[in-house]
Amino acid sequence: MKSRRSFIQQVSLTAASIPVLNILNATTMNTSINDDKILRVAIMGLGGYGTRVAEAMKDCKRAKLVGVISGTPSKITDWQKKYNIPEKNCYNYENFDAIKNNPDIDAVYVITPNGLHKEQVIRVAKAGKHAICEKPMALNAKEGQEMVDACKANNVKLLVGYRMHFEPHTLEIIRMRNAGEFGKVLFFQGLSGFTIGDPTQWRLNKALAGGGSMMDIGIYSINGSRYMIGEDPVWVTAQETKNNPQKFKEGVDETIQFQLGFPGGAVASCLSTYSMNNLDRFFLNGTKGFAELLPATGYGPIKGRTNKGELEAPVVTHQTVQMDAMAGIILNNEKPVVPVDGEEAVKDLKIIDAIYEACKTSNKIELKL
């Protein structure tokens, strides 16, 4: 059996505001659903984030962890015991196509290195199961579109792990913006970064990660600029800085600054880095006011303020709310405030492709999302 690990080694050589609760009730908190409408999920990739999702799902009302897919037999055994998963719902990376014949699994959450997403999601789709994929959904927009097309061809849904799209502080700022409370939006700043450790990890391997910081933490500022401003950008410029070429090899970005232009006239200035800590901030400025999230995208608690004062919103476990909301999307065709489908992810991938092109050419790249 070829495990994901062996593949990698080969390649490597609090009081809630009423508006927020209304949003959550509309999109994520419907708990009156019958047991036969529970989304039954298998997690593929039993690493650190897979574990975080599994723990969060213990508190879900609409989604349940029922299966696992891993290349490491010992992890499967451990998860079986910890989460009471039956043997018939356990698979490895070679045989998981057999989920096609398992009526007890509705969806597979793919939480593996970026370079594996395309093949694995397409296999899930061909098995007739809904796919949830971690972000970035693929290595580039072409791959992402192929994943979208495969899921459509097999009549299954494709969702992406944009957990912030269900986070209460984030949703409250979006509500305020939609209500015109900030006036005309003029500027957004997104700072996303941390100092990465182990130089041999898959996130610093181009074949598995597709790049460097941009493919991991930078996507938060890309996606955040879109949902905070409420528009899709029409152009991008970008500049790359690399101070440690030994750690950050060819094709693995260390730090990228990028700028986005939006059709309404707003501009965004963002930073993605693997070499600086304390960078997790979103700032939105308009003619009537401002909004800030600090931290903006960490696992929590998220904190925010506007020109009207501190945001009062519930503190939630992001993955719990996300999975309950995704159950509603998959089972009941519910519509989230901010999309989390494959098409949404392809837009981010088109922007990432353009950022890398802008870094290489120093050109302003026009975007058609």
Q: Which residues are the active-site residues?
A: 135, 220
Q: What are residue 257's DSSP bridge partners?
A: 239, 271
Asked if residues 328 and 30 have their Cβ atoms less than 8 Å apart, the reply is: yes
For 42-74, letters b (16+ CB in 10 Å) and e give bbbbbbebbbebbebbeebbbbbbbbbbbbbee
CA angle at 98 for the pair 97 and 103, rounded to the nearest 5° = 120
Q: Which two tokens stand for residue 213?
A: 């910081």
CA angle at 56 for the pair 54 and 60, rounded to the nearest 5° = 105
What CA–CA distance (Å, rounded) separates 89 from 81?
Answer: 13
C-alpha distances out from residue 196 to 147, 193, 277, Å:
29, 9, 9
